[in-house]
Amino acid sequence: MEKVIWKKSTPEQKVVLITILMMANHDKKEWEWQGKRFEIQAGQFITGLDNPAKIAGVSTQNVRTALNK
């Protein structure tokens, strides 16, 4: 919480940062989609802008701004 990114973020950006941290996988996951095998490691996740915005209760633009920051 002493990092500049936290101190300089707006309340909306802080909500996005927390949401992204909570969305990260805790374990390795594997799946198959359209005949291709995919693997994701702990700490990673795949998403678009809409899903974190919906979870955090902010706009897609808030998510985009937080990620750019």
Tell me the two tokens of residue 57. Answer: 């209760």
> 33 falls in which pLDDT band (50, 70, 90)?
very high
End-to-end CA separation in angstroms for the chain? 16
pTM for this entry: 0.81
Beta strands in the chain (DSSP E): 29-33, 36-40
pLDDT tens track for 51-62:
999 999 999 999
pLDDT tens track for 36-53:
999 999 999 999 999 999
**For residues 36 and 1, what is the distance between their CA atoms, to the nearest angstrom?**
40
Tell me the two tokens of residue 20. Answer: 């992204």
pLDDT of residue 69: 87
**Inter-residue contact 52 to 63 (CB < 8 Å):** yes
**For residues 3 and 34, what is the distance between their CA atoms, to the nearest angstrom?**
41
